[in-house]
């Protein structure tokens, strides 16, 4: 049946059909991602910003970090329950490549920084520095996730990951007194921006 002759559309009709394809493609991706990934990213952005804001108020000492993490996962669970899956995904090599990339990047950073001696011999003054280093490390590694997924999802994420990494380093070196608030706003902000992006502007 598909081999029957099809009346050939005019160039204008063909352009309209291609435009309809592009629009449908983008709309589908936005609907799927906006339903679950978008709200989850925004939620974790809020958790991140509040958790680091709390650390700033307590001079970098955040003994309640686990409460924020538990609240984050609880919120994510609720969001997932409220939004049934729109897509049944088949196993994808890109998901495995993503995690391998993240762990390799995280491991590479540890090997390069060689923090073993520093962690062994801490003075009270060094303690604050180590806390700041750990926070910077834990913030920079997730930014690499944006860089990895960028080529598959949108170039926007590559730029976002690189800009946010640079901003974290700026905070680390030039704004040490307000570093936790800085990272809270940069890290949380990037999650919120990416959540809004895939809900509204992803093509």
Nearer to other proteins, 2 or 123 (CB): 2
Residue matched to tokens 């640079």? 166
Who's near 98: CB < 8 A, 6+ residues apart?
Answer: 145, 148, 149
Q: Residue 23 Cβ, how far from other proteins at the closest point, in Å?
A: 8
**Angle 88-89-93 (CA atoms, 0-180°, nearest 5)?**
170
- Residues 63-92 touching other proteins, rule: CB under 8 A, are 84-90, 92
- Binding of residue 151 to other proteins (CB under 8 A): no
* Residue whose CB is less far from other proteins, 3 or 123: 3
Under rule CB under 8 A, residue 18 binds other proteins: yes
Measure the CA–CA gap between 85 and 150, rounded to whole angstroms.
Answer: 23
Is residue 98 at the binding interface for other proteins, with CB under 8 A as the rule? no
- Give min distance, CB of 18 to other proteins, in A: 5
Q: Does 21 bind other proteins (CB under 8 A)?
A: yes
Measure the CA–CA gap between 102 and 115, rounded to whole angstroms. 19
118: contact with other proteins by CB under 8 A:
no
Of 17 and 169, nearer to other proteins (C-beta) is 17
Shortest CB 118 distance to other proteins, Å:
44
By C-alpha distance, which of 142, 143, 191 is closest to 163? 143
Q: Do 87 and 32 contact (CB within 8 A), yes or no?
A: yes
Comparing CA positions, the residue from 140, 131, 137 lying closest to residue 187 is: 140
Burial of 145 (0-12, 13-18, 19+ CB in 10 A): middle
**Site pattern 27..56 for other proteins (x: CB under 8 A):** xxx-xx--x---------------------
- Give me the residues that bind other proteins (CB under 8 A), please: 1-2, 4-6, 8-11, 14-15, 17-18, 20-21, 24-29, 31-32, 35, 84-90, 92
């Amino acid at each position: 049946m598909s081999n029957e002759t099809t009346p050939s559309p005019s160039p204008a009709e063909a352009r309209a059909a291609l435009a309809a394809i592009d629009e449908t493609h983008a709309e589908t991706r936005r609907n799927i991602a906006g339903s679950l990934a978008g709200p989850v990213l925004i939620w974790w952005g809020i958790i991140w910003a509040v958790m680091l804001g709390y650390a700033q108020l307590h001079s970098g000492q955040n003994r309640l970090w686990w409460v924020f993490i538990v609240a984050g996962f609880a919120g994510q669970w609720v969001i997932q329950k409220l939004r049934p899956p729109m897509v049944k995904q088949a196993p994808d090599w890109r998901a495995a490549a993503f995690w391998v990339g993240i762990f390799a990047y995280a491991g590479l950073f540890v090997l390069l920084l060689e923090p073993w001696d520093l962690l062994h011999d801490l003075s009270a003054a060094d303690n604050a520095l180590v806390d700041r280093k750990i926070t910077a490390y834990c913030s920079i590694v997730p930014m690499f996730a944006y860089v990895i997924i960028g080529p598959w999802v949108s170039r926007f994420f590559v730029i976002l990951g690189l800009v946010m990494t640079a901003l974290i380093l700026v905070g680390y070196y030039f704004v040490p007194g307000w570093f936790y608030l800085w990272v809270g706003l940069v890290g949380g902000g990037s999650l919120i921006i990416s959540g809004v992006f895939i809900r509204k502007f992803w093509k």
